[in-house]
Structure 1
Amino acid sequence: MEINNIIDLSIFQMIAAYVFVILVLIMVKIRGISREKEIVISTIRMTLQLILTGYILVYVFDNISPLITIVIIIIMEAFAIHNIYKRTKTKLSNKIKKIIAISMILGTLSSLLFFLFVVINISPWYDPRYFIPIAGMLIGNSMTGISLGVTRLIDGIHSKKNLVESALMLGATPKMASKEIVDNAFDSAILPTINSMVGMGIVFLPGMMTGQILSGISPVTAIEYQIAIMLGILGSVALTVILFVNLGYKTFFNEESQLELEE
């Protein structure tokens, strides 16, 4: 059936979409790839999480409140930071964990507030229909960026330990000795965002733009929003990651500018 020219998916149609999951399970089974458990669990989690989110958003949209919006943002930030800790395979020191949290909070919130107040200029500022989806995109992409940055920074410091120590013995400061590692970590972290921008509009239509078009909004208006949000995502990822790498590398050095790595 259609509601306001939007096709409303029935239960049967939703179930039919899970055929794609079955196809993937068959493929990995035939190839002998042991991913069946992960695929099933991720599918179930995704379904339950989205259903729960849908009902929560219905309540939030019907009961607009600055307190509720702030609480949701705090939860999103906390989950993103926890997810970064969980994604990183190597052990993280308490110092670098603090840097990750500070970078995520400062980078994403400053980008979000600028986007809402200057780019869109929404009123009231806590309108959940704008605040929550935009915050989700900025925080989610920044989380991915920092996850890559953390891995590259830690791997770089460990793999190039001898080069860093040699530079320090020759009189270089910790900043100079680790500059190449920091630059590589930053580059690796923002590259996925840049690559996604290259093919956007020609190779694929992003989710936000597709959703707006399906809801009946003019494609031109949808494009305007998509351009704005992609630039916001780029800025948020870059700001968050640059904060992390420029503060994070310092956690590997002591007060005497000596390299200290936890075994």
Structure 2
Amino acid sequence: MNDIIELGFWQMAAAYVFIVLLFLIIKARGINREKELFIGTVRMTLQLVLAGYILAYLFEANNVWLVILVVIFMQVFAVRNIFRRVKYRLSKRIKQMIMFSMAAGTLTSIFYFIIVVVQVSPWFEARYFIPIAGMLIGNSMTGISLGVQRLVEGMYDQRAHIESALMLGAHPKKASERIVNQAFDAAILPTINSMVGMGIVFLPGMMTGQILAGLSPVTAIQYQIAIMLGIVGCVSLTVILFVQLGYKAFFTDRAQLDKKELLLISSKEK
């Protein structure tokens, strides 16, 4: 039951038949994606192989400073990726709010999950801390990206409605409340949708990997449920922090729409 089937060279090579199949399909259909497919396959392979060796070293060393360094690297990469995903120009103030929301939301969720849920001792146990941090930060990165995009679009597209509300005496928070709620909803919707189909439509990658590695399906399910709940909480916390802070960047100290902020957004090309 617990015997693990090791994948040899030829077994791994056989898996690349699926890439060859995709290559033949796009070639036959005249879709110009051969270069992207080749680069994507090579990058995926090299990055995962490198990550495997790095993780093996980190797990063996199990050093608190190395773990902290890895988490900092994850955070920096995630924040930079958010900046690149959003098609609008972002002001320094909004970028600072993104960084704060990501750091505060993900670190709070990670430590709660490690200390309270999994109860790892010591807390910096690399075998637990790094994979959990990666999943929470990665999903929060996607959530924040969607939230930023929707908030920026809403504030710009509905600026006339906001100004009308302000002229009638509404507070900036009230005038932008609907936009903030829509941004939050758009950011968490993919996470909620993944929960709905989980276990019926598909088996999550982490759970599948644990089962293939010989872990009991019941134990794998317990971990998957805990991780999924952690992801939901982490995404929710990071996004709500951002949208509750982010809308303020569009208003001046006199509770007026910031024209400079809107002008910056109007230039979509980075």
Match of 1:42 in 2: 40
* 2:187 pairs with one of 169, 186, 189: 189
Match of 2:64 in 1: 66
Equivalents in 2 of 1:218, 1:174: separation in Å?
A: 53
The C-alpha deviation readout for 1:163-204, integer Å capped at 9, x for no partner, is 111111111111111111110000010000000001111111
The C-alpha deviation readout for 1:38-57, integer Å capped at 9, x for no partner, is 22222221111111110001
For residue 103 of structure 1, report the CA deviation from its aligned partner.
0.4
Structure 1 segment 150-229 matched on structure 2, within 5 A: 150-229=148-227
Structure 1 segment 1-263 matched on structure 2, within 5 A: 5-260=3-258, 261=262, 262=264, 263=266
The C-alpha deviation readout for 1:90-145, integer Å capped at 9, x for no partner, is 11111111111100000000000000000011001110110011111100000000
Gaps of at least 5 residues in structure 1 are none
Q: Secondary structure of 1:107's match?
A: helix
For residue 20 of structure 1, report the CA deviation from its aligned partner.
1.6
For residue 22 of structure 1, report the CA deviation from its aligned partner.
2.3
Change (3 A) 1:258 1:25: farther
For residue 34 of structure 1, report the CA deviation from its aligned partner.
3.2
For residue 35 of structure 1, report the CA deviation from its aligned partner.
2.9
Gaps of at least 5 residues in structure 2 are none
Could you tell me the percent identity over the aligned residues? 63
- More moved, 9-18 vs 88-97: 9-18
Which amino acid counterpart does residue 230 of structure 2 have in structure 1? G
TM-score between both structures, scaled by the size of structure 1: 0.95
Equivalents in 2 of 1:192, 1:34: separation in Å?
A: 29
Q: Secondary structure of 1:7's match?
A: coil
Which amino acid counterpart does residue 140 of structure 1 have in structure 2? G
Equivalents in 1 of 2:132, 2:46: separation in Å?
A: 22
For residue 28 of structure 1, report the CA deviation from its aligned partner.
2.9
For residue 25 of structure 1, report the CA deviation from its aligned partner.
2.7
Equivalents in 2 of 1:50, 1:69: separation in Å?
A: 19
Q: Which has the higher contact order (CA 8 A, sep 6+)?
A: 2
Which amino acid counterpart does residue 188 of structure 2 have in structure 1? I
Number of aligned residues: 260
For residue 161 of structure 1, report the CA deviation from its aligned partner.
1.3
Which amino acid counterpart does residue 131 of structure 2 have in structure 1? P
Cα RMSD (Å): 1.2
TM-score between both structures, scaled by the size of structure 2: 0.93
Equivalents in 2 of 1:234, 1:227: separation in Å?
A: 11
Which amino acid counterpart does residue 206 of structure 2 have in structure 1? M
The C-alpha deviation readout for 1:144-172, integer Å capped at 9, x for no partner, is 00011011111111111111111111111
